[in-house]
Amino acid sequence: MSRPLKFRILVVDDEECIREVFGQLLQREGYEVATAEDGFDALLKLKQFLPDVIISDLNMPRMSGFEFLSVVRRRFPKISVIASSGAYGSRVVPTGVLADTFFAKGQEDTQTLLSSVADLLQTSAARAVAHQEESAPVWIPRNGKDSNGIPYIVITCTECLRSFPLNVTKEENPEVLETLCLFCSNRVKYIIDFSLSVTSPRRVLSTPLRTTETAA
């Protein structure tokens, strides 16, 4: 009998030490591991390395885990996902995060992570079916203000794939919202990702405002 293929795990985290620690831990368990440093990097990795399980951080620059996981659920519904974050107190999957399970980084020990991986591998066939039946909401970074100073987002329709802008009038906790596509009237489910606006470096504002005061 030929040697069974190794299960593959993709670790996505912007912190290098987390990628190393998780990577070594999983390799010692006999898994084949690849790592990526944010959502975009992970999508590139997925072109060559199709994992059985993805472990992804949520707050990352460029493309957050929220957005990345919603893309994964739509494009790779067979992959099981663990969302990992130190930013939530509870051990449940945060609202709207498309993950099978949640790992509270820094609060739970790594043994818990390993048993979550093992559980997901055992139940992956059933989960793949459930994933395909779900309609995954799109996570959208809030990406600008219009000429009247009102924040807007750009939504890409999951059906006709055309994009259209939508004004955002209030900031709410992440929840699943719905809108009709301007072009095909498909009902698009979306969630606004405020995590990027919190963590992104604001280069424009970094010009020293204090100098005007001190110079006066």
- CA proximity to 34, closest of 85, 100, 111, 22: 22
183 in contact with Zn ion (CB under 5 A): yes
Task: Give the nearest distance from C-beta 180 to Zn ion in angstroms.
Answer: 9
Q: Is 181 in the site for Zn ion (CB under 5 A)?
A: yes
From residue 214, how far is each of 18, 142, 207, 210 by CA, in Å? 42, 35, 14, 6
From the CB of 181, what's the least distance to Zn ion, in Å? Answer: 3
User: By CB under 5 A, is residue 154 in contact with Zn ion?
Assistant: no
Q: Find the shortest distance in angstroms from Cβ 160 to Zn ion.
A: 3
Q: Does 166 bind Zn ion (CB under 5 A)?
A: no
Comparison of 39 and 137: residue with beta carbon closer to Zn ion: 137
Closest CA to 8 of 73, 56, 54, 52: 52
Query: Which is nearer to Zn ion, 27 or 185 (by Cβ)?
Result: 185
User: Whose structure tokens read 């999508």?
Assistant: 43
* Binding window for Zn ion (CB under 5 A); candidates: 19-27, 91-99, 175-183, 194-202: 175-183
What residues contact residue 68 under an 8 Å CB cut-off, 6+ apart? 12, 38, 39, 42, 43, 56, 60
Can residue 186 be called a binding residue for Zn ion (CB under 5 A)?
yes
CA 95, CA 83: separation in Å to the nearest integer?
12
Using the rule CB under 5 A, is 180 a contact of Zn ion?
Answer: no
Q: Nearest distance from residue 154's CB to Zn ion, in Å?
A: 13
| Residue 159 in contact with Zn ion, rule: CB under 5 A | yes
Stretch near Zn ion under the rule CB under 5 A, chosen from 38-46, 113-121, 185-193, 203-211 = 185-193
Strand stretches in 126-176, DSSP E? 138-141, 144-145, 151-156, 163-167
The stretch near Zn ion (CB under 5 A) out of 36-44, 91-99, 154-162, 167-175 is 154-162
Per CB under 5 A, the segment of 22-30, 40-48, 95-103, 183-191 that binds Zn ion is 183-191
Report residue 54: phi and psi, to 5°.
Answer: -115, 130
Beta bridge partners of 65: none
Question: CA 155 to CA 138: how far, in whole Å?
Answer: 8
Residues in touch with Zn ion (CB under 5 A) = 157, 159-160, 181, 183-184, 186
